[in-house]
Amino acid sequence: MEKLVIEGGLPLKGTVEISGSKNSALPILAATLLTEDECVIRNVPRLRDTLTMIKLLKSLGKTVDFTDNVLKVSQKGKLNHVADYSLVSTMRGSFCVLGPLVAKLKKAKVSLPGGCVIGVRPVDLHLKGLKALGTKMDIDGGYIHARAAQLKGRHVYLGGVFGSSVLATANVMMAAVLAQGETVIDSAACEPEIEDLTDFLIGMGAKIKGKGGPRLVITGVKKLKGIKHSVIPDRIEAGTYIILAAATRSNLSIKGADLTHLAALTDKLEEAGVKVFEENKILKVKTKKTIKPVSVTTYPYPGFPTDLQAQFMAMMALCQGVSVITDKVYPDRFIHIAELNRMGANIRREGVNAIVQGVKTLRGAPVMASDLRASAALVIAGVAAKGKTEIHRIYHLERGYENLDAKLSAIGAKVWREKE
């Protein structure tokens, strides 16, 4: 096992190139289960999570070649209907093979999912949606046992306690494209990653109306074909580097990002005094020495992303004044507070709120990564801090940030790995 060591306080400058979206690639890879034809998917990030999904696809009977961020998926024999615990338990995104397997094979045995420890994230909306389409399910031994003689289109409402669910929307969509008749999904997730999946399915021959909106109307078809597709850029990775620029008071260029996916973040940054604008298809981040504290509340897209909450908190920890950060999506996603406080931050939690009293300086310290985005927050804090920071359990970072060390080094950060 390795740790990430950061010598902080150095000026940053240059250009960061954004990789393909992890949260888009995972359901798209699952959707390849819906056809026997070859699918070619470009701009797939090489991450621990995408490699886990590739292993899962292979275990289900797919042949996969992954070269230079281009992934080719084909099938020679029959699909296996069992998604094993050893793979699904390590990554929540792999649970979205359930819908495609039920749609294609009329049966599935899928382990209940794992992933980051950021509070309770039930799969009830996934099961509700698939049951509405005619799937019968039992839970036994940590597995969902699903079967359906024939999926049939119906009206499905996917609103949950904390809003819509991206993965549940993906699962139900992928089942509905091969169901008989028309399926209407209300309170569907509107994230760009769902739009990307919708484009992928339409390219395969699916009939879907309402892309990008909270109501999707899907008319089932009998068969889907192979497709060539390019994954959208990772808006969370882009947001992380934009926040890094602001936290370190640096001017950076971000290549390959889509500014339209980042409106909630750039709005808050503008309020804080940070300018983010597009010039010749490259995002420019202009930061002053002093930025203002601002308060944010996370909501499903197009609201402020919960996946940028921890990073934004690290930035606010270095803004003079008080800010309040509220997470309405995952209210327990505050494990990083204690680690940021180890570095000299002054943050306290009150229910679903984090009260951040800005400090002048953070100082390097040994810290522990608890989940993917908390890890990114600790990297931001470490690069901005004075002295040396050691981040342990960096396998979390490898789940969602491609070539992190190299990208940070290219813009002037002093970062290296050491054996634990």
Which amino acid appears at position 117 of this protein? V
What whole-number distance in Å separates Cα of residue 317 and Cα of residue 323?
A: 9
How many C-beta neighbours within 10 Å does residue 341 have? 15
What whole-number distance in Å separates Cα of residue 364 and Cα of residue 367?
A: 9
In sequence order, what are the beta bridge partners of 349?
354
Say whether 116 is catalytic. Answer: yes
What whole-number distance in Å separates Cα of residue 285 and Cα of residue 277?
A: 7
Among 96, 116, 190, 319, which one carries the catalytic annotation? 116
What whole-number distance in Å separates Cα of residue 286 and Cα of residue 273?
A: 9
What whole-number distance in Å separates Cα of residue 165 and Cα of residue 77?
A: 33
Helix axes 309-316, 372-384, angle to 10 degrees: 20
Cβ(8)–Cβ(389) under 8 Å? yes
Active site residues: 116
